[in-house]
Amino acid sequence: MTAANPLKLKPGDTIGILGGGQLGRMLATAAARLGLRCRVFSPDPDSPAFDVVMDATCAEYADVEALELFAADVDIITYEFENVPAASAMILAARRPVLPNRKILETTQDRLAEKDFVRQLGIGTADYADVSSVASLRAAIARIGLPAVLKTRRFGYDGKGQSIIREGDDPEQIWEDLATKSAILEAFIPFEREISVIAARSAGGQVECFDVTENEHADHILKTSRAPAAISDALAAQARGIAEKIATALNYVGVLAVELFVVAGDGGPKLLVNEIAPRVHNSGHWTLDGASISQFEQHIRAIAGWPLGKPVRHGPVTMTNLIGDEINDYERWLTVPGATVHLYGKGAPRPGRKMGHVTQVAPVSPKIA
């Protein structure tokens, strides 16, 4: 596969998916509707994605033999989470195309590298500093000020691997509690709202963005997403432009999410990039029922070398995550008119565990001539 001659799958070909969570499950379901097969690789025998594919590999990501056999049985490889071990991605990429390109993970797996990359594109972020010791943490606090957020550079998600530092807190204790030698301190942003853009890019450079989504979190976990976001058309266009610029600079193939803060500015609201997720994303789940094409199908089309769809939203959409014990209330959601329930087939609910989601699409009143 080259830029001039990208890989193009045909119905009946097989996509390998690294990761067996709900994102892998929904990717495999989208692929099946297009006549494409999927094989899932995951170390967890209870992976919900295993339930929707004929073939699966349950092995550790460090199992070289299992990785090689997996690659031999698929035509192309993608992933549902960004923390794929670099060594595993390298082994697979030597045998089959891996999309998005594994080199992108080197940027997006490291919060410092990601922030540097975004800044180099001329896109705004919160102020930040590299932190590798208590002394460098104190120096970063002196420069950035408090409150601030200390995050591990790698592997954090849903609020894990981070801590807010406020006036009066003990930086040394917070550093010890974070238990890392590699972190980043970010200025705390008093944002007006959090938004995200789900963008797809083809190997040929075509970019299609879904409508900008507004997100609300509870205990650092996404609880509700609404599309469209309650922002001006001009700001929404700017957000989509940022996502397109990032996808193009990465030479990205597939779906990515760009999370942004809307903050007050002297000339009106402005945008700061918070994080990039090089995969399908929780804040894009509304597209399953609320748009003419889902983020999952869009990702499959992109990596398969097929034309991207032009997303058309069906109406105002709300996506609600069912977290932990909230899954036990699924029957009530089944009785709500206009609601579509998605249950992920996971085991016992745990606090903070995403067990499913519900999509509600509001009807659009017909225009009267």
The more confident residue out of 37 and 87 is: 37
Owner of token pair 């800044």: 119
**Contact predicate 20/36, CB 8 Å:** no
- Of 68, 78, 69, 65, nearest to 105 by C-alpha is 78
For residue 363, the model assigns a pLDDT of 78
% of the chain beyond a pLDDT of 90: 89
Confidence of residue 336 (pLDDT cuts 50, 70, 90): very high
Q: Determine if the pTM surpasses 0.85.
A: yes
For residue 153, the model assigns a pLDDT of 92
Q: Containing H/E element for 68?
A: helix 64-72
List the beta bridge partners of residue 270: 263
pLDDT digits (tens, 9 = 90+) for 176-204: 999 888 999 999 999 999 999 999 999 99
CA dist list (Å): 72 to 191, 207, 280:
47, 31, 25
For residue 364, the model assigns a pLDDT of 67
Confidence of residue 3 (pLDDT cuts 50, 70, 90): very low
pLDDT digits (tens, 9 = 90+) for 119-139: 999 999 999 999 999 999 999
Mean pLDDT computed over 332-349: 96
List the beta bridge partners of residue 198: 257
Residue 5 has pLDDT above 60, yes or no: no
Measured distance CA(312)–CA(291) in Å, rounded? 5
Confidence of residue 162 (pLDDT cuts 50, 70, 90): confident
